[in-house]
Every structure is written in structure tokens, then in C-alpha cells.
Structure 1
Amino acid sequence: MSRGFVKEGDQEETPIIPPRAALPAGATNYVTPMGMELLQAEREELEDERAMLPTTDEQQRRVELAVINGKLDLLNERIASARILDPASQPKEEVRFGATVTYKINSSPTPQTFQIVGVDEADVAKKKIAFVAPIAVALTGQSIGSIVLLNMGGETRKLEVVDIQYG
């Protein structure tokens, strides 16, 4: 039947599926073992949510099911493309994926610390940043005592690596 003969109130809008964290084109989807566990737990939650959808309003159920299935499709693509890198296997003397890095900015007496993780695991509140973030890129490959210049917001800042930990 042509869509011209469907009542206006019967037409469903295409649901908006929120995108996953940005991964630059061509970049390998590195994840920590914990990051992979989090992705798999997220998949289980979405599958449980899909199984528990109420069946009272069929139109609402179809929309919610489309959103969940869209999220699952994006998540499954991310899981399929994931390459697990165990921080314990990284060289201990330099900053690499999975490292917890302590650094100072512009000789500040207060050091800052973050862990370099995959894009889906990144959470600034938990002091975890994505390996594609400018500060992570700038510090990758550096060793304790290294000084790196980083342009942030039109201002050049000097970063000094104070400590590197894995585990």
C-alpha cells in the first residue's frame, strides 16, 4: 500500500539512535581487558532490556525495540572491531596504551594523573581518557622526566612526565 493512504497519526518517526564515542576513521579500536568486560556487560544489559519490553502499546514497543536494536548494532560493531591490549604487556619505561600517567603542567607543584584507555571506556570523572585525546597522543612514547609541548586552546603548555604505572 502506498504511504499516501496511511493516516497521518499512524506514521512513525524514525527513532534517533545516539552514536557511540568517536573513533577516528582508520584508527584501531584498542580496548583494555576491563574495557571489553564493560562492553560485554553493556550488551547483556541491552539484551535484557529488549527481552523485558512491555507489550501493552505496540507502537511504543516498536519504537523502543528499534532504539535498543540500533544501540545493539552499534555496540556489536564496536565489540567485533575491538583489539584488546593488556596494559601489563606494555613496556614499563614509556607511556603506552593502558598506562596510568602522572604529569605536571607548566611546572605546577600539583601533579595530575589519568589512565589512557579505549574510546568507549574513557570517563574524565574517573580519570580515564581515550588514547586518541590530544594529551594522550602527546604523552604516548614518552618516559619519566620527558617534557612535551602541547598546544591547548591557543596556549602552549609544557607537560612533564612524573610517573608511569601499569596494572
Structure 2
Amino acid sequence: MNKAFTKETEPDDDEPALAPLPAGGKNYITPQGYERLRSELLDLIDNERPKMVDVVHWAASNGDRSENGDYHYGKKRLREIDRRIRFLTQRLEIAEISDPSIHHGRDQAFFGATVTYADDSGTERTVTILGIDEANSALGQISWISPVARALLKAKVGDEVSLHTPQGLQTLEILTVDYPAPGKTVG
């Protein structure tokens, strides 16, 4: 087959865009979230990357690289690791650590709060407001810049807040606001 008709490798140099922050906003993160990202970064640097470098070196020493799957996969995985290292480094540099336990016992929603609210239909939901790099929606965690979190922030137990949704304006009633006790973990 003519080389002109073969698929070239995709350029993997595209940097993943950092999740957008509001203008003038900060990248808030809990101490536990910061430690998780930091340990992931250190693991990539100290363990994953050196192992993959060894695999690529071994595969390259096997000769012809044009049909060497181990070499091609290893190089691709190495680019992914390097991209993740750059991403984590950038995020940790701009992180603003905020410990939600300082609000323990308060009934007003701030960063790190676990808030239970009821919507117009009476459906109750519980969410924890965390940083954009640590929130996991499958665990009921939302980013502090999400529309729901924006509506809940600074609201007190018993308050009703408005949330603009694609279906229209919804009213959310704040039922409970909880914070971790000092020394406890979030989420």
C-alpha cells in the first residue's frame, strides 16, 4: 500500500483544557482533594512513568518499530502520562486549599458543605459542594461553580433559592447543611 494512504498518528500534543473558572475565581479544593491529586502526581512521576519508559526502551530494543505494538502503545501511554503530569502540576499550582471543617456547626452553605434540599416536586437530594478537580457526581459531589452549587452557596437552612434550568425556574428549599467535624474527611 502506498504510504500516502496510510493513517498518520494523531497528534497527542493537545493539552487538555483546564476546567474553566469564573472570572477572577479561584481553584478551591479541600485538603483531602489536594492530597489525592498530589499523590496521583507523585505516583505518576515515581512509578507509572519510569515503568512505561522501561517498556518503551525494551520494545525499541527489539528492532523494527514500524510494526511493534508494544513500542507504539508504550509511546502513546507515555504521552498520556506526561499530559496528566502537566495537568496535575498546573492544577496544584493554582489550588486554593479551603478546609470546610472551619464551618462545622453552621447552618449556612459554603464550600465543602453537604446540603440536602427539596425541589419543586418535593424530591430530596443531598450534594457535597467541592472543588472542580475533586467533585464526583456519582458520589453526590458537585463542583462549587456548578449552577446548583451557585444557587445553594450562602443559603441557610429553611431558605428557598432559585435555580435556572432548561425546564425553567425551579425553587429549592434548603433542608440541612452539614460540615465535617475538624479532623474528619470530606465526601
TM-score bucket of the superposed structures, by smaller chain: 0.7 to 0.9
State the shift of 1:115 in Å.
Answer: 0.3
Root-mean-square deviation (Å): 2.3
Match of 2:117 in 1: 103
Structure 1: which 5+ residue stretches go unaligned? Answer: 1-6
CA distance in 1, matches of 2:110, 2:159: 14
The two structures have a TM-score, normalised by structure 2, of 0.76
1:97–1:16 Cα change, 3 Å: same
Instruction: State the one-letter code of the partner of 1:41.
Output: S
Work out whether residues 101 and 164 of structure 1, in 8 Å CA contact, stay in contact via their aligned partners in 2: yes
Letter in 1 for 2:51: M
Correspondence for 2:32: 34
Letter aligned with residue 87 of structure 1: P
Structure-to-structure mapping, 1:8-157, within 5 angstroms = 13-15=10-12, 19=16, 22-24=19-21, 25-47=23-45, 48-53=47-52, 54=55, 55-58=57-60, 60=72, 61-90=74-103, 92-106=106-120, 108=122, 110-157=123-170
Contiguous gaps of at least 5 residues in structure 2? 61-70, 181-187
Tell me the number of residue pairs that the alignment of Structure 1 and Structure 2 aligns: 159
- Rate the CA distance shift 1:68–1:37 in 2: closer, same or farther, 3 A: same
Q: Write the distance in 1 (CA, Å) between the matches of 2:51 and 2:17.
A: 23
Runs of 4+, deviation exceeding 6 Å:
none
CA distance change for structure 1 residues 57 and 46 in 2, over 3 Å: closer, same or farther? same
Could you say what secondary structure the match of 1:52 adopts?
helix
Query: For 1:21 and 1:114, how far apart are their aligned partners in 2?
Result: 23
Hey, what's the Cα distance between the residues in 2 that align with 1:102 and 1:69?
A: 39
Instruction: Output the amino acid matched with 2:163.
Output: L
